Chains A and B, each alone.
Chain A
């Protein structure tokens, strides 16, 4: 059974780059068939899609975050990562990683990590 676990610093200084990692267990991220996604949720707010990556390295990002976001893979560690630059206070949030299945007319995210909270403070 595939499981995902987010990790990274819970505290980030303003304007620093946030770096998070999602470790995948129970399956290989390089086996194909699935994309790997990041989603965040500000306190008391809804879900916001950040971006996703395929094992080939192809990425797609939320247009509103495109200039700030980088998602990458480390197949040797079975991990994928998120970097979000110029991290600022309004972006304190819970970050989730998820497994994404894309089909021509539908898709779904069927396995999610538990989420990790990132707070901005100097």
Chain B
């Protein structure tokens, strides 16, 4: 069964518009959630993690255990945000990581 679900494969928004990339997970333990990003011709890199409760490049993500979600949000999208975004889950009992299928975000000028 899929542990991490990203329902949108493609997402397009206009510059300056809010953006939300959805992520839902399936795990009954204490999850650790991450967002990774891959810009064009670059390698996969960490964007943010839920335990840090940080804002990176204007993006935030809140872990909602009730809804088992970890949606990524940014109030005003920029062109440089265009990239592939992956949500990832680490199980608390080991080194198992699960990634979603990714969402390709395009910010239209």
Q: Do A and B bind each other?
A: no
Q: Could you list which residues of chain A lie within 8 angstroms of chain B, going by C-beta atoms?
A: none
